[in-house]
Amino acid sequence: MTDPARPLDLDPDGLAVRREVLGPEHVDAALGRADDVTAEFQEMITRYAWGGIWTRPGLDRRMRSAVTLTALVAHGHFAELELHLRGALRNGLTRAEIVEVLLQSAIYCGVPAANSAFRVAQRVLAEEQLAGD
């Protein structure tokens, strides 16, 4: 167990990318909820997922978002899909490109998973469109 009073040891590059993709409100809320159970997990995902993978030069953020959306559909992680749909929009994917990613996912991940993903996307894209108006 970690000491709940100790500050989180967060990779600065990973933290910056995580905030840019997911939004500072989400990231700050997740970090604010960190306790002796989740602190090490928050450090790990910030360091390895966001600092180790999302900062690599081999793929741009748009491509990383498309891959991430597909993986989340494949595994049925629809709460995370909602979060990453918003991130995909921040990373420059268009609504049409998101639809294409989900259509591609229907073939390779299964129609039931894509059906659930489209429900999430329909809601998120409508909310984001309203927020942009």
Task: Give Cβ neighbours of residue 48 (< 8 Å, ≥ 6 apart).
Answer: 14
Q: Over pLDDT 70: what percentage of the chain? A: 95
Contact 69, 88 (CB under 8 A): yes
pLDDT at 1 over 90: no
pLDDT at 112 over 90: yes
Please report which confidence band the pLDDT of residue 6 belongs to, taking 50, 70 and 90 as the band edges.
confident
Contact 55, 32 (CB under 8 A): no
Report d(CA 73, CA 9) in Å as an integer: 31
Q: 131 is written with which tokens?
A: 């927020």
What's the gap between Cα 117 and its chain centre? 14
pLDDT digits (tens, 9 = 90+) for 40-95: 999 999 999 999 999 999 999 999 999 999 999 999 999 999 999 999 999 999 99
Q: What is the mean pLDDT of residues 27-37?
A: 95
Q: 2 is written with which tokens?
A: 């970690």
Task: Choose between 133 and 120: higher pLDDT.
Answer: 120
Q: 51 is written with which tokens?
A: 């600092």
Contact 56, 67 (CB under 8 A): no
Backbone φ, ψ for residue 53 (5° rounding): -105, -55
Report d(CA 133, CA 126) in Å as an integer: 11
Contact 68, 32 (CB under 8 A): no
Please report which confidence band the pLDDT of residue 3 belongs to, taking 50, 70 and 90 as the band edges.
low
Least confident of 4-18, 41-55, 63-77, 100-114: 4-18
pLDDT at 111 over 60: yes
- pLDDT score for 4: 55
- pLDDT score for 132: 80
* Domains present along the chain, CATH in parentheses: 12-53 (no CATH), 61-132 (1.20.1290.10)
Angle between helices 61-75 and 111-132 (to 10 degrees): 130
